[in-house]
Amino acid sequence: MSSNPASVETTHWFENESTSADPTNPPQYVLIATRSVDPDQSLTVSLIETIVDTLKPPDGQTSLSLYQHVNPDALEEIIEASTTKESGVEVRFTIENYLVTVRSNDTVLIYEPLGPHRSSSRNPIRN
């Protein structure tokens, strides 16, 4: 009896040549978390909770400032406009080496880098 290996979702970060260390070999990421946005919370609060829950800062402490990585107000406006117009939108940004994807279907995905693009043990939300 043959068994199929577990399927792992991977993606690439779409960097331009000026931001990529090696534009011919973009970093590849593996999905480590998928969460739905809590309808009783703002997108920003749900996004921060998802990031903190996934990256697990020591002692629950965080110095994460979302504004250093993305404009949360603009992100919410894009997602809300997309939902109103019934069009699919996906916004991607990085926090340190992690790729964060926010989709207009109220889904947040977090990817971890694979291979040589993986960082050291540095946690992006430690004090």
Residue 97 has pLDDT above 90, yes or no: no
Is 91 within the bounds of a domain? yes
Q: Is residue 54 part of a domain?
A: yes
CA distance 80 to 4: 39
- Cα separation, 33 vs 61, in Å, equals 20
Q: Is residue 127 part of a domain?
A: no
Residue 113 near residue 98 (C-beta atoms within 8 A): yes
| pLDDT mean over 91-98 | 88
Residue 122 has pLDDT above 50, yes or no: no
Residue 29 inside a domain? The answer is yes
Domains: count for the chain: 1
Is residue 5 in some structural domain?
no
Residue range 10-59, pLDDT digits in tens = 565 554 444 445 556 777 889 999 999 888 999 988 998 888 888 876 66
Instruction: Check whether 123 has a pLDDT greater than 70.
Output: no
- Assess if residue 3 is contained within a domain: no
pLDDT at 13: 54
Residue 124 within a domain: no
- Identify the domain containing residue 71 by its residue range: 10-117
Residue 2 located in a structural domain = no
Q: Answer yes or no: are the C-beta atoms of 29 and 13 closer than 8 Å.
A: yes
